[in-house]
Structure 1
């Protein structure tokens, strides 16, 4: 809506208008303008932490025209992930700051425009799927080393199909390619891509699936960032390789697939090995194994020769000679020790026997002593233990004598307190035939 015309201010060098009047009138005029949607490219984003107001610089997409835009943090957050260089549509209203006289456009709403809008949409979808775990590296499966059959989803008669098939045939001729044609751009592409992937995933001989396209614009590649396609690939039991061939942006399929290849040709190289290279590797491995075996055999041969050259193996019995000699010496020492011990024990036994014999009654009898016993067999060791006329037995070393006591004469030292002392006879000498003086002995 156009502003109403106002009367021109009169001014001259002699009567100038105050600055505040001109600024206020300008502000009043700008305040009457409506907010308008404008398109431009963000060339600068000045984010200030801790403040509500943020400042942007917006430039026309064709002309060298740029303006300063003020907005709030809430408006920036609502616009989604935008960066410098993004083309946006901004709902702005011009205003004038009185203190500085700066013309600023207040942005009340901000939306990505064109490719920026598409990128923001794709980025938002990426964040959602990432939060659900569809991009986790832990769930990605390893590709088989030698796939029997390779599934290929691509456009009919496309360069991507030709590159994949030719490279697989050249690198590993034994691998078979199971092709499913599908649209790779446009509204119907997502449904056909999902059907082709599910068909190959259900094939019992397909070991890996390649989804290939030879690049394209952002709009052409939108089917490969579709949420339904991403979930279909995530649900596959067969490993999936994404070969979109677009390096500028990353479609969601690249993130959810088990492996991302930069081009269809790169996908073929990653899926099957090169037969020539593998043959060379096998040849080198065989050569290394042969050299290792020969080296091991040589080493063991030298070790065996060293063992055989040792004296113990040249003459195994030689090692026993020293042991035999030591055993003989040990036996001799043992014999001498046994003999010495036997002599020592025999001598000790002889001494013990002699001591026992010297202490035995028989030895005493052999020295000329006798042992008297009464008729009851009790030992007569005192004169008072018998009486005149009693029968006693005298035991000698070689036998015994039966005697009759004709007289008893105790010694004065023992009989002094009991009876008158008799004359003390001279003591008997050992071996005397007469045991008692003034008596007669009778043999019975």
Structure 2
């Protein structure tokens, strides 16, 4: 229960500790020990980085480190606890410990006094990795749309791997064999154990910040599930996703892929495969260039030959071989058509001339000249000041009227003696 500000004991404690009344070291150490003792017993998970068991002693000293952070605790236990463990405990083992924190007042240090140690089995490690994989997948960190393409010919390649490791040797050897001019920025780090993740994070940050590095290879030559735990660390996976430089994961462990394979832009089966994926083969590329050049030259020659044959076919056509033959043929046709048109016109003219002649004959037969030639006459009365007009009735020719009588061979001037009855004239005729 918290004491109120008016608690006499608290007021006394505040007044008893000052520059004029400082606490002795033993009082502070005792109080710290009392405060830490109030924490009670706890379960702690970590990785053993140091085991110190001296013969004949009743206490074993260990260092328990956080795999994802540069933090550790001093642990003490009975040597029998280590010897009775069902799984041999060595440096690098992942364990869960149960104990109580204690403050050693003589040296002013804190240690965890454990009474139970459980080794984290492979099955449990894989289950934790699977849960983390599901979490990262749900956040979309495995999405293919986040994958960055690898440049065709990187000028500088960043390599994060163990010092003097087979993975480093394989990557450098294969890459230089494929493209001798390739350059590397190598960062040697621990690739297993408690210091692996912090060192790899630092190396990734340095290479990602270098603008001259075009791609980064994270390589290790395989190992057990426990050895590959750093490559399934959440902090490392998120750092890979956050990098702006393409990352190639080349862990070389086919059965159980670490999570770095899922978040990396490219997953390589082995470090050698990573070198082949990142660095093009100069010989193969030269062969490809030669093949493409030969194919293009062959295609060009084929095109020229096809066009030449097509041109030759065009030139061999009759219209080009004898260009005036078609004109001559059309000229003859035009002549034939003109002759036919002339004949048709002449035939039409002859027919029209014959029709006109027939009409003229008919007109002559029916005209007044022919009638006059048959003995008939045309009688006109002539009056001074008037045009002559044909007599159509005896009334039109009174006695003494001036007449003009036209016959076939000329005209006769006469005078009218008056009309004669029609009956008398008919009897004479």
RMSD: 4.1
CA contact (8 A) 1:215 1:246 kept: yes
Quote the Cα distance in structure 2 between the aligned partners of 1:203 and 1:119: 35
SS at match of 1:204: coil
Paired position in structure 2 for 1:193: 200
Paired position in structure 2 for 1:343: 346
CA contact (8 A) 2:379 2:403 kept: no
Note the alpha carbon deviations across 1:47-103, whole angstroms, 9 max, x for none.
xxxxxxxxxxxxxxx9xxxxxxxxxxxxxxxxxxxxxxxxxxxxxxxxxxxxxxxxx
Q: TM-score, normalised by structure 1?
A: 0.55
Q: List runs of 5+ in structure 2 lacking aligned partners.
A: 1-85, 87-118
CA contact (8 A) 2:405 2:413 kept: yes
Q: Residues 294, 388 of structure 1: CA spacing in aligned structure 2 closer, same or farther, 3 A cutoff? A: closer
Task: Give the superposition deviation at 1:272.
Answer: 0.7
Quote the Cα distance in structure 2 between the aligned partners of 1:151 and 1:278: 23
Comparing 114-123 with 285-294, greater Cα deviation is found at 285-294
CA contact (8 A) 1:372 1:381 kept: yes
Comparing 211-220 with 256-265, greater Cα deviation is found at 211-220
Counterpart check, 1:330 vs 2:341: no
Q: TM-score, normalised by structure 2?
A: 0.57
Counterpart check, 1:129 vs 2:136: yes
Note the alpha carbon deviations across 1:367-387, whole angstroms, 9 max, x for none.
226485786669647315623
Task: Give the superposition deviation at 1:120.
Answer: 0.9
Comparing 215-224 with 255-264, greater Cα deviation is found at 215-224
Quote the Cα distance in structure 1 between the aligned partners of 2:171 and 2:187: 13
1:147 pairs, out of 154, 168, 181, with 154
Paired position in structure 2 for 1:243: 250
Counterpart check, 1:263 vs 2:265: no
Quote the Cα distance in structure 2 between the aligned partners of 1:403 and 1:193: 157
Quote the Cα distance in structure 1 between the aligned partners of 2:421 and 2:217: 145
Paired position in structure 1 for 2:122: 115
Paired position in structure 2 for 1:171: 178
Paired position in structure 1 for 2:224: 217
Counterpart check, 1:316 vs 2:318: no
Q: Residues 374, 198 of structure 1: CA spacing in aligned structure 2 closer, same or farther, 3 A cutoff? A: farther
Task: Give the superposition deviation at 1:246.
Answer: 1.8
More helix by percentage: 2
Q: List runs of 5+ in structure 1 lacking aligned partners.
A: 1-61, 63-111, 412-420, 428-444
SS at match of 2:418: coil
Q: Residues 362, 299 of structure 1: CA spacing in aligned structure 2 closer, same or farther, 3 A cutoff? A: closer
Comparing 190-199 with 401-410, greater Cα deviation is found at 401-410
Note the alpha carbon deviations across 1:328-368, whole angstroms, 9 max, x for none.
54244224312322222212332343355456599713322
Q: Residues 294, 181 of structure 1: CA spacing in aligned structure 2 closer, same or farther, 3 A cutoff? A: same
CA contact (8 A) 1:150 1:208 kept: yes
Q: Residues 378, 196 of structure 1: CA spacing in aligned structure 2 closer, same or farther, 3 A cutoff? A: farther
Quote the Cα distance in structure 1 between the aligned partners of 2:311 and 2:176: 52
Higher relative contact order (CA 8 A, sep 6+): 2
Note the alpha carbon deviations across 1:228-285, whole angstroms, 9 max, x for none.
3323323444322101122231111111222211221221121112223333444454
Q: Residues 371, 147 of structure 1: CA spacing in aligned structure 2 closer, same or farther, 3 A cutoff? A: farther
CA contact (8 A) 2:246 2:265 kept: yes
Paired position in structure 2 for 1:382: 392
Counterpart check, 1:423 vs 2:425: yes
Q: Residues 266, 383 of structure 1: CA spacing in aligned structure 2 closer, same or farther, 3 A cutoff? A: same
Note the alpha carbon deviations across 1:117-175, whole angstroms, 9 max, x for none.
11111111212322333323454344322222212222344432332223222221122
Q: Residues 295, 240 of structure 1: CA spacing in aligned structure 2 closer, same or farther, 3 A cutoff? A: same
CA contact (8 A) 1:392 1:405 kept: yes
Quote the Cα distance in structure 2 between the aligned partners of 1:400 and 1:197: 145
CA contact (8 A) 1:383 1:410 kept: no
Paired position in structure 2 for 1:12: none
Q: Residues 381, 202 of structure 1: CA spacing in aligned structure 2 closer, same or farther, 3 A cutoff? A: farther
CA contact (8 A) 2:391 2:397 kept: no
Quote the Cα distance in structure 2 between the aligned partners of 1:424 and 1:282: 132
Task: Give the superposition deviation at 1:194.
Answer: 3.7
Aligned residues: 304
Quote the Cα distance in structure 2 between the aligned partners of 1:241 and 1:171: 18
Task: Give the superposition deviation at 1:396.
Answer: 7.7
Counterpart check, 1:184 vs 2:191: yes
Q: Residues 284, 339 of structure 1: CA spacing in aligned structure 2 closer, same or farther, 3 A cutoff? A: closer
